[in-house]
């Protein structure tokens, strides 16, 4: 699908979590105990982060997923709604819990995460068909790898059937090999260096290896591969040409949601009519700004901040 033909409507799928975050000087080694008095809770989950980012940065965003009826679920949904995300398609499972992520962040802003998906992984493939009205012609599906693989594949198939642009953030990478039909249904795939290596078997450490992995992803059938490289930037393969997206220089505090902000900002920019090349620069600026403050959804920059960084 041509990115120029998409509308502003974005449907996000993945996980919505409550992040329990501890900040410390260094990440502990196995068997090591650290003491810190720096603990906070933040709304998170890659799907939730991306949805809020896209909404804050100008997208018309709906979320399709499943949560519970516990206090964390209520807080998470209220927070997303307050920031402009349509939550009418978030289903509820009274016998489960919200997703929980326990996150350690060191003095350099690097992190280690353990995730319990809770009700997020109870969304079933048949519910994708039941709520097919979520998938609107000309819109964008932005989906992560946090939910059941069969549900992800059902969503991708339904999105293409409905005439949507499909963006997949394969975090975590679903079990391999992927179903034969799936890569060709994905217009944009956006792995980080670790995920790109898992998908292709090519270790990714720099722009040269990122380009090799991107070309392999394209050979596998994916439309436009975008490999993010953290502080090094990103590389996209567009019409056979490698485009390097250079990072913005900022003082990093916490990189927890930078990849999610990149994905959400990319979808918002495309939905607002930007070219893919311009959308990538916009996404890079948004992701950089998100690393300058702690938390996941709390780190998402406003649109005016991103535009100021782009011109400044």
Q: Catalytic site residues?
A: 260
Q: Which of 6, 4, 1, 12 is nearest to 54 (CA)?
A: 12
CA distance 71 to 98: 8
Tokens 């930007």 -> residue:
274
What is the rounded radius of gyration, in angstroms, for the C-alpha atoms of the chain? 18
Torsion of CA 130, 189, 286, 77, to 10 degrees: 20
The burial of 162, by beta-carbon neighbours within 10 Å (0-12 exposed, 13-18 middle, 19 or more buried), is given as middle
Three-state secondary-structure class, residue 309: helix
Count the neighbouring beta carbons within 10 Å of the beta carbon of residue 189.
25
């Amino acid at each position: 699908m041509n990115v120029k033909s998409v509308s502003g409507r974005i449907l996000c799928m993945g996980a919505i979590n409550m992040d329990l975050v501890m900040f410390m000087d260094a990440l502990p080694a196995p068997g090591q105990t650290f003491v810190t008095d720096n603990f906070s809770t933040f709304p998170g989950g890659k799907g939730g982060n991306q949805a809020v980012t896209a909404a804050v940065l100008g997208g018309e965003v709906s979320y399709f997923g499943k949560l519970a009826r516990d206090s964390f679920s209520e807080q998470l949904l209220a927070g997303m709604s307050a920031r402009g995300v349509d939550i009418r398609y978030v289903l509820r499972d009274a016998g489960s819990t919200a997703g929980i992520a326990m996150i350690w962040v060191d003095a350099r802003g690097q992190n280690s995460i353990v995730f319990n998906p809770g009700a997020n992984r109870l969304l079933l493939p048949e519910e994708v068909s039941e709520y097919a009205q979520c998938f609107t012609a000309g819109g964008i599906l932005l989906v992560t790898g946090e939910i059941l693989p069969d549900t992800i594949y059902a969503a991708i198939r339904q999105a293409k059937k409905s005439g949507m642009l499909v963006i997949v953030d394969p975090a975590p990478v679903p079990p391999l090999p992927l179903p034969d039909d799936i890569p060709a249904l994905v217009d944009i795939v956006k792995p980080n260096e670790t995920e790109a290596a898992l998908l292709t078997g090519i270790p990714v450490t720099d722009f040269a290896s990122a380009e090799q992995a991107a070309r392999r992803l394209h050979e596998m059938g994916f439309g436009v591969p975008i490999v993010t490289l953290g502080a090094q930037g990103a590389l996209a393969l567009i019409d056979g040409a490698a485009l390097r997206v250079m990072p913005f220089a900022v003082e990093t505090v916490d990189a927890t949601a930078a990849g999610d902000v990149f994905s959400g900002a990319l979808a918002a920019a495309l939905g607002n009519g930007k070219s893919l090349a311009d959308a990538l620069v916009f996404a890079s600026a948004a992701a950089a700004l998100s690393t300058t403050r702690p938390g996941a959804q709390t780190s998402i920059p406003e649109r005016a901040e991103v535009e100021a960084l782009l011109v400044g």
